[in-house]
Structure 1
């Protein structure tokens, strides 16, 4: 009986120490030349994650998406989901020739010759693109870029 009391007292002491010294969560942002990722213990985040009140999307390789549409959600330059889509205007330079066929009011996308729309006119090295509203692109049957690290 005496051994049982000692064992019980030891068990309670260990539980008390664990409760007093919580194990730190091992989650943090990291980056390299390819991009940003969010560690979760010994792995990385994938899919949608709510981090400090912001929603982010991570590809299957762990890298964060940014400056693009994921489904119906726009991710800004910091990778956070936002409803504040930046207003863009059409561009016309020697490297990028974009033409606008609509009066866009804040959700401009650029459609490639392959029928895929992007956030930027020079995404994936496009040289010719057509600027239009995102809704017009959807209504016309164009699809969003879903490539890894879609600009």
Structure 2
């Protein structure tokens, strides 16, 4: 009986230590010359992740998407999903471009002959594209460019 009490006391002591010192989550941002990724333990995040209240998308190689569309969602320069999409305007080829923010529903996109829409008319070397609003592209069944560095 005395051994049982010692065993029980030891068991309770171990449980108390575990409860007091929880295992820390090993998640952190890292970067190199290729880009940013988010570690999760000994691996990296992939797909959509909500980190500190912001949604991010990570490719299968772990790198964070930014400045592009993933499906119907635009990711800004910091990689966070946003409803404000930067647009560029110019009057001729030598004009200086200005940037402003436009709500996603009114943004102009350019649809390729393959039915994929892009932010710019010359994305991936497109020569002939059709300009339309993002909503028209979505309603017509066109897909957003999901290339790793889609302009």
Q: TM-score range by the shorter chain?
A: 0.7 to 0.9
Please identify, of 91-100 and 15-24, the stretch whose mean Cα deviation from structure 2 is larger: 91-100
| Secondary structure of 1:5's aligned partner | helix
* Displacement after TM superposition at 1:2 (Å): 1.0
* Displacement after TM superposition at 1:101 (Å): 19
User: Contact 1:87/1:107 (CA < 8 Å) preserved in 2?
Assistant: yes
Task: Show CA shifts across 1:117-148 (max 9, x none).
Answer: 22245544557766542223345554321222
Aligned residues: 151
In structure 1, C-alpha distance between the alignment counterparts of 2:101 and 2:86, rounded to whole Å: 18
Task: Show CA shifts across 1:30-57 (max 9, x none).
Answer: 1112111111001111111110000111
Report what 1:140 is aligned to.
Answer: 140
User: Contact 1:66/1:150 (CA < 8 Å) preserved in 2?
Assistant: no
In structure 2, C-alpha distance between the alignment counterparts of 1:33 and 1:3, rounded to whole Å: 60
Task: Show CA shifts across 1:67-122 (max 9, x none).
Answer: 11111111111111111222432574379999999999851323446543222455
Q: TM-score scaled to structure 1, two decimals?
A: 0.77
Q: Report the aligned-residue RMSD.
A: 4.4
Q: TM-score scaled to structure 2, two decimals?
A: 0.77
| Secondary structure of 1:147's aligned partner | coil
In structure 1, C-alpha distance between the alignment counterparts of 2:79 and 2:16, rounded to whole Å: 41
Question: Cα 1:92–1:58, aligned 2, differ >3 Å: closer, same or farther?
Answer: farther
In structure 2, C-alpha distance between the alignment counterparts of 1:79 and 1:60, rounded to whole Å: 15
In structure 1, C-alpha distance between the alignment counterparts of 2:100 and 2:20, rounded to whole Å: 62
Please identify, of 70-79 and 141-150, the stretch whose mean Cα deviation from structure 2 is larger: 141-150
